[in-house]
Structure 1
Amino acid sequence: MLLLVVPPQDERILQVIERDWHQDIILFLQNKLPKIIVVLLVLFILQRVVLLFVKKMRTRADHQVGNFHRAAQLRTIASIVRATSYGVLGFIAFLQLLNIFDIPYQPILASAGIVGVGIGLGAQSIFKDMLTGIFILIEDQYNVGEVVALAGLKGTVEDLSLRSTRVRDADGTLYIIPNSQIANVANFSRDYAVATLPVSVDASANPDKVIAVLTALAEQVRQDSAFKDIAIADPVVLGVDKINGREVTYPIQLRVRANQRDAVLRELRRRIILTFEKEGIPLGNDPANMLILRAPNPTGPPLQQPLIGS
C-alpha cells in the first residue's frame, strides 16, 4: 500500500484554496444566485406577458370576420411585436447577467460598435432589408393573410418581418423574399376588384342578342345567394370590344370584393356555356363555323368547301 505524503507547505496551500473555493461558493449562493434567479424569472414573466398580448391580438384578428384588412393587420403586428420583444428582452437579460458576474459590458458594447461598423460595410443589404421592412409596416402596404404580387411572385403572405416576407403561391410553394428586393407591390386584398371576362362569339351571332344574354347571365350571378355578398355593383357588358376575323369579343365586368374574382368568373363561364348551347349562339373559333382550303388539284382550280361538324 502506497501512502502519498504531502509536504506541510503544500498542505497549507491546498487548505487555503479549499477555503477560498468554499467561500466563493457560499458568496455565489448568497449573492449572485438569487440575482440570477430574479433576472431569469423576470425574463420569463415578461415573455409570458408578451405572449399573452400576442395571443389576444390574434384572437381579435380571428373575430374580425367582416373586416379582413383589420384582421390581417393585427396578425402582422402580433408577429412583429413577438419577434422584437423577445430579442430586446433577451439582450437586456444578457447585460444583467454580465453585471451580476462583474463582467464590464461597456467595453463589449464599444467593441461591438467597432465590429458593427465593419460588419455594416459587408452587410448593407441586411440594413436595407430592415429599412424597407419598416416602411412596409408604416405605409401598411400589405399584411399577413393578404394576396399580393411582389418581386415577380403572386401568393398569400404567411409571415412579415423587418428582414423578409414569406409568400406561398397557389401551388403551395413557400418563397422567402428579402424586403430590399420588393420594389413594386400589387395588393389583391384591398377595397375591391373588377372581375373581367372577355367572351369570344362567332360573328354570325346577332350582337344585340349576345349582349342581352350576357347581361342577363351576369345579373343572375350577381343575384345568386352564393355571390350576393361578393358582387358589390351591377354587371356591365361593354359591347363589341374586338373583331378578329370571324371572332367577336364581348367583355363583361363585375365589381366584387377584394380577392373574390375567381369563384364569380368560374360560375359565369359555366352559365355562359350552358346558355349559349341552349340559345344556339356559337362561340368564337368554333370548328363548325370554319372553312378549310383543300389541297389544290393540278388539273383544276382550288376548291373552297365548308367543314361542317368535323
Structure 2
Amino acid sequence: MPHPLNAPIIDMTAVSGSETNPLVTCSSDENLCTWVLDQTGNEKLATAVDWLVGKPAALVGLIVIGLLVRWLLHRLIDRIVQRAEVGVLPNRLSRAISGGKMGAALNLREDAGYTRRVQRAATMGSLLKSIVSGVVFTVVALMFISELGYDIAPLIASAGIIGVALGFGSQALVKDFLSGIFMIFEDQYGVGDVVDLGEASGTVEAVSLRVTRLRDVNGTVWYVRNGEILRVGNMSQNWARTVLDVTVGYTEDLTHVRRVLEEVAHDLWDDEEFRGLVIEEPEVWGVESLGVDGIVMRVTLKTAPMEQWGVARTMRERVKARFEHEGINLAVAQRISWQESAPSAAHADDETPS
C-alpha cells in the first residue's frame, strides 16, 4: 500500500466554492457573479446571473453614463454660446461714445453685430456639440465592446492606422476644415460681408467649414476653399471710409476749393437722410498730388459698414453741382492734336512735271 504521505493532495478550494475557486470565471472579484458564488456556491448559477443580470446592467449603465456626460457637455456648450452671443463692440467703442451721430450709427451697427454674433455662436455651438457627441459615442462604443468580453486593442490599433492613412490622404481636406473652424472662431467674415479673398472678391453668400461662396459685382458665384485663403480684406466690419479725390485745374484758388469742399461735406454730415450713415465729421485732407491734368484734393468721410459707396456717389454729385455754381472748373485732360494740312491746288500744279 502506498504511504499516506504519497497520496495526492486535493485542492479544497475547488470543492468549497469560495471566491478563490479557479474553476469559476468571473469578470471581476467584486461583481454580481462573485457575490452570488459566495452566497450559493453554485458556479452555473453565478455565471448565469452574471450574464443575465450583471452584463445587461453594466451595458445599460454605460449608455446612461454616456448620455449623462453628453448632456452635461452640451449644457456647458450652450452656456458658452450664450456668453459669446452677448459680446462687446471692438475696442469697447460703445463705452467711449455717448450720443451724437456716431453713437447712433454704432448702436445701429451694434444690432447688426448682435445678429452676426448670434449666428456665429450658433454655428460654433453646433460644431462643438457634434464633436462632443462623436467622441462620447466612440468611447461608449469601445467600452461596450470591452464589457462584452472582446479585446478592443485591435480596434484601437486599426483606428490609429486608418486615422494616419486618412491624415496623409486628405491633408487638403483637413486643412480646409481647420481653416474654416478658425475663420468662424475669429469672425474674419460672415454672410453679407463684402470681402476680397485675393483671387475672388464680392459679397459672401455662404460660409461652411470647407468652402466659402461669394458673388462678385458681375453676378458670378465663386467657391473658394478655406485652406487656400491666405488673406482676407473685409470691407464690412465695424466701420468704413469713403476716400474721394477731386481734381481741379491749376488755375483754381485752392483756398476757395478747400472751403467749398468742407461746406459740401458738412452739409452731407448735417443731412437727416444720412444720419447714422456718416458717423464722423468729414475731413478735407487737402492737396493729395500734383498730376499732369490738375491738382488732386482729397476728402474723407467715415461711414457705417457697406455704406461707403452710396455716400461717395452722393458726395460726387453734390461736389459737381456746387463747383458749377461757384464757377470752379474740374480738371480735364490736356491734349494737343497735330493735323497736317493738304497742299494747295496751285502748289500742286507747280509741282506737276511738264
Classify the TM-score, shorter chain: 0.5 to 0.7
Paired position in structure 2 for 1:293: 338
Unpaired runs of at least 5, structure 1:
1-26, 300-310
Paired position in structure 2 for 1:235: 282
Secondary structure of the residue that 1:226 maps to in structure 2? helix
Choose which of 211, 214, 235 in structure 2 pairs with 1:168: 214
Based on CA coordinates, which of the two structures has the bigger radius of gyration?
2
Secondary structure of the residue that 2:310 maps to in structure 1? helix
Paired position in structure 1 for 2:178: 131
Cα shift readout 1:166-197 (whole Å, capped 9, x = no counterpart): 24234444433222212222222333322101
Tell whether 2:248 aligns with 1:201. Answer: yes
Paired position in structure 2 for 1:279: 326
Alpha carbon RMSD of aligned pairs, Å?
4.3
Distance 1:149 1:130 in 2: 20
Paired position in structure 2 for 1:75: 119
- Tell me how many residue pairs correspond in the alignment: 266
Secondary structure of the residue that 1:72 maps to in structure 2? helix
Distance verdict in 2 for CA 1:157–1:123, change over 3 Å? same
Within 5 A, what are the aligned runs for 1:259-270? 259-270=306-317
% same residue: 26
Distance verdict in 2 for CA 1:104–1:166, change over 3 Å? farther
Within 5 A, what are the aligned runs for 1:73-112? 73-86=117-130, 88-89=132-133, 107-112=154-159
Distance 1:59 1:238 in 2: 39
Cα shift readout 1:46-90 (whole Å, capped 9, x = no counterpart): 9x999x99x9999989xx954133432321221232244346536
Cα shift readout 1:80-128 (whole Å, capped 9, x = no counterpart): 3224434653675588689889798764453232112112112222232
Between Structure 1 and Structure 2, the one with more strand by share is: 1
Distance 2:155 2:200 in 1: 43
Paired position in structure 2 for 1:144: 190
Distance 1:132 1:216 in 2: 48
Secondary structure of the residue that 1:277 maps to in structure 2? helix
Q: TM-score, normalised by structure 2?
A: 0.58
Distance verdict in 2 for CA 1:168–1:108, change over 3 Å? same
**How far 1:227 sits from its partner (Å)?**
1.7
Q: Determine if contact 1:148/1:155 at 8 Å carries over to the other structure.
A: yes
Tell whether 2:263 aligns with 1:216. Answer: yes
Q: Which amino acid aligns with 2:118?
A: L
Distance verdict in 2 for CA 1:65–1:235, change over 3 Å? closer
Q: Determine if contact 1:125/1:180 at 8 Å carries over to the other structure.
A: yes
Q: Which amino acid aligns with 1:77?
A: A
Secondary structure of the residue that 1:251 maps to in structure 2? strand
Q: Determine if contact 2:108/2:276 at 8 Å carries over to the other structure.
A: no
Q: Which amino acid aligns with 2:210?
A: S
Q: Which amino acid aligns with 1:271?
A: R
Q: Determine if contact 1:193/1:260 at 8 Å carries over to the other structure.
A: yes
